[in-house]
Amino acid sequence: MIQTFKLIIEYDGTGFSGWQRQPEKLTIQGELEKVLSRILNQPVTLAGSGRTDAGVHALGQVASFCADTSLAPQALKKGVNRLMKHPIALQRCDRVPHTFHAQYSAISKEYNYYILNRETPCAVGRNYVWHVHRPLDLDVMNQCCALICGSQDFKSFENAGSPRRSTVRTVFLARMDRLDPDRRVFRICASGFLKNMVRNMVGTLVDAGLGKVNPSGFQHILWAKNRSRAGATAPARGLFLKQVNYE
Amino acid sequence: MIQTFKLIIEYDGTGFSGWQRQPEKLTIQGELEKVLSRILNQPVTLAGSGRTDAGVHALGQVASFCADTSLAPQALKKGVNRLMKHPIALQRCDRVPHTFHAQYSAISKEYNYYILNRETPCAVGRNYVWHVHRPLDLDVMNQCCALICGSQDFKSFENAGSPRRSTVRTVFLARMDRLDPDRRVFRICASGFLKNMVRNMVGTLVDAGLGKVNPSGFQHILWAKNRSRAGATAPARGLFLKQVNYE
């Protein structure tokens, strides 16, 4: 019987060359497809909600696939988690209608980006944060976050490499929160994301937090629709794909 | 000028063969001594508050050493953190009286042990928790924790390999806390610890939480002064040396 499955996947992206399968490289898609194909005894091709770069983590990446099997979703989930040797763990596995597609059915996605903002570096969890030594002005950063919200052209925050029909996206939420005296998190929810969009935003927001750019300068960077006007791409390790939302 | 320094050290023990320097092995002591010797241009030997095993982490390991230098502690700390390539980070560096010794001056130590208690494994931070699939009864575990407190012979929780004059230690605090729906932490503060004492306690407490041992059985394990009566040694990865206390 042909079933369509929806997977919710957590992974530590540190040792991977990103989500997307590539020959000779360790990728999340590649390793998951190997284990699924072995369990289901047939070739499995996953449709992910989108790619994540090397070193980027996920708490709730979503992928879908079809297979000819009578196996229950729960049994499949347990089997994958038992056989998987890499830091990839299925959080859910559900049977969904055949019309479901992890990428095309998604209506929004949420990312978190973690910053350790103090002089002294950390050791535990250092693959999960960007260490910024100098104090960040969170108020200024949140003034810039407000400028990000809404439907607009985010070309200034897109890296070359993935041509898209349009660079307009809708940002539903963007803000910086103080998690504890040392930790900050940038939360963003949008209809979709351009290549490196979150990391380019964070790089530019950190410039603002350090006083290198003011909110009016940030606005002009957005309006310029020119990648070279924005700040550097923030490191991959602070970025987590938190959740993909569907109807 | 001869100065004595006290270091507070955070490390991710995952890739290390433990704290103690060993030829041809990656150890925290070994890597720190290398970097300190390079900065101070003299051989440096650290006295740690105690060893930690391979895979055990620290948020507040303490080490002391003497060196002939005029370098300020803050400059030394920055230098070490800048040169260190491994997940080891000095959290503090202070000048202390020459009578200070990280091991002999310590009056108590605190460890935390983290357990992920749910069916589904995690991927992010999986080197920082022990994943226990079946539900743990926290009340029963805390009844056993109460039996651990006080001055007593902990021979049942000592692994062979480090002969000591006495196996009596004083436990000032021992309890299991619920951090969130899925996470538990065992907190223990004691005058000192025997080899693998915390991990052996956690292994036995988990047996109690799973219903394999009741509090009365736990009491008899303690009284037996016999390692073979207690449970298995819990994995290193959940264990954190949190803090070492001095007068």
Mean pLDDT of B215-229: 95
pLDDT band per the 50, 70, 90 thresholds, residue B23:
very high
Q: Does ipTM come in above 0.90? A: yes
For chain B, say whether A54 makes contact (Cβ under 8 Å): no
Asked if the model's pLDDT at residue A19 lies above 80, the reply is: yes
Longest CA pairwise span in chain A (Å): 60
For chain A, say whether B1 makes contact (Cβ under 8 Å): no
Mean pLDDT (chain A) is 97
Mean pLDDT of A2-21: 97
| pLDDT of A176 | 98
Asked if the model's pLDDT at residue B217 lies above 90, the reply is: yes
| pLDDT of A238 | 98
Mutate one of A84, A86, A124 to test the B interface: name it (highest B CB count within 10 A): A124
Asked if the model's pLDDT at residue B162 lies above 80, the reply is: no
pLDDT band per the 50, 70, 90 thresholds, residue B26:
very high
Mean pLDDT of B191-204: 97
Q: Which of A12, A77, A122 sits opposite B124 (nearest CB)?
A: A12
For chain B, say whether A15 makes contact (Cβ under 8 Å): no
Mutate one of A8, A11, A120, A126 to test the B interface: name it (highest B CB count within 10 A): A120
% of chain B surpassing 70 pLDDT: 99
Helical segments of A124-245, H only: 138-148, 197-209, 215-224
Q: Residue A55 — φ and ψ, nearest 5°?
A: 90, -10
Which secondary structure element, helix H or strand E, spans residue B168, and what is its range?
A: strand B168-178
| pLDDT of B165 | 84
Mean pLDDT of A191-210: 97
Q: pLDDT of A139-158, one tens digit each?
A: 999 999 999 999 999 999 99
Asked if the model's pLDDT at residue A164 lies above 80, the reply is: no
SS3 A236: helix
Mean pLDDT of B159-168: 83
Question: What does each C-alpha distance from B105 to A131, B64, B93, B100 come to in angstroms?
Answer: 33, 10, 17, 6
Q: Which residues in chain A have Cβ-Cβ distances shorter than 8 Å to B126?
A: 12, 87, 89
- Which amino acid belongs to residue B73? P
The verdict on a CB contact (< 8 Å) between A10 and B124 is yes
Q: Which residues in chain B have Cβ-Cβ distances shorter than 8 Å to A87?
A: 123-124, 126
The verdict on a CB contact (< 8 Å) between A87 and B126 is yes
Nearest Cα to B39, choosing from B91, B6, B74, B86?
B74
For chain B, say whether A193 makes contact (Cβ under 8 Å): no
Asked if the model's pLDDT at residue A247 lies above 90, the reply is: no
User: Rounded to 10 degrees, what is the CA torsion of A29, A30, A31, A34?
Assistant: 120
| pLDDT of A135 | 98
| pLDDT of A153 | 97
Is A207 part of the annotated catalytic residue set?
no
Which A positions 125-184 lie with beta carbon below 8 A of chain B? 125-126, 128
Residue extents of the structural domains in chain A: 2-96, 107-246
The verdict on a CB contact (< 8 Å) between A12 and B57 is no
Residue range B2-96 in CATH 3.20.20.140: no
The verdict on a CB contact (< 8 Å) between B10 and A123 is yes
Asked if the model's pLDDT at residue B169 lies above 90, the reply is: yes
Asked if the model's pLDDT at residue A163 lies above 80, the reply is: no
Residue of A nearest to B79 (CA): A120
Mean pLDDT of A16-23: 97
| pLDDT of B190 | 98
Mean pLDDT of A181-199: 97
Asked if the model's pLDDT at residue A55 lies above 80, the reply is: yes
Q: Which residues in chain A have Cβ-Cβ distances shorter than 8 Å to B122?
A: 10, 89
Task: Spot the catalytic one: A53, A94, A137, A177.
Answer: A53
| pLDDT of B43 | 97
| pLDDT of B160 | 82
Q: Nearest C-alpha of chain A: how many angstroms from B26?
A: 16
| pLDDT of B183 | 98
Q: Nearest C-alpha of chain B: how many angstroms from A179?
A: 16
The pair of three-digit structure tokens given for residue B103, joined into one six-digit string: 């091991």
| pLDDT of B37 | 98
Mean pLDDT of B33-45: 98
Nearest Cα to B86, choosing from B166, B42, B29, B143?
B29
| pLDDT of B243 | 98
Same fold, A2-96 and A107-246: yes
| pLDDT of B247 | 86
pLDDT band per the 50, 70, 90 thresholds, residue B161:
confident
Q: Which residues in chain A have Cβ-Cβ distances shorter than 8 Å to B57?
A: 124
Residue A36 CA to its chain's centroid (Å):
23
Residue of B nearest to A86 (CA): B123
pLDDT band per the 50, 70, 90 thresholds, residue A160:
confident
Q: Which of A59, A123, A240 sits opposite B89 (nearest CB)?
A: A123
Q: Which residues in chain B have Cβ-Cβ distances shorter than 8 Å to A88?
A: 123
Q: Which of B77, B87, B124 sits opposite A123 (nearest CB)?
A: B87
Q: Nearest C-alpha of chain B: how many angstroms from A216?
A: 35
Vertex A78: Cα angle to A72 and A79 (nearest 5): 90
Q: Which residues in chain B have Cβ-Cβ distances shorter than 8 Å to A240?
A: 124
| pLDDT of A111 | 98
pLDDT band per the 50, 70, 90 thresholds, residue B171:
very high
Helical segments of A84-214, H only: 138-148, 197-209
Mean pLDDT of B139-167: 92
| pLDDT of B137 | 98
| pLDDT of A165 | 84
pLDDT band per the 50, 70, 90 thresholds, residue B75:
very high
Mean pLDDT of B104-124: 98
Q: pLDDT of B224-240, one tens digit each?
A: 999 999 999 999 999 99
> Which CATH number fits the domain B107-246, given the four candidates 3.90.650.10, 3.30.70.660, 3.40.50.720, 3.30.565.10?
3.30.70.660
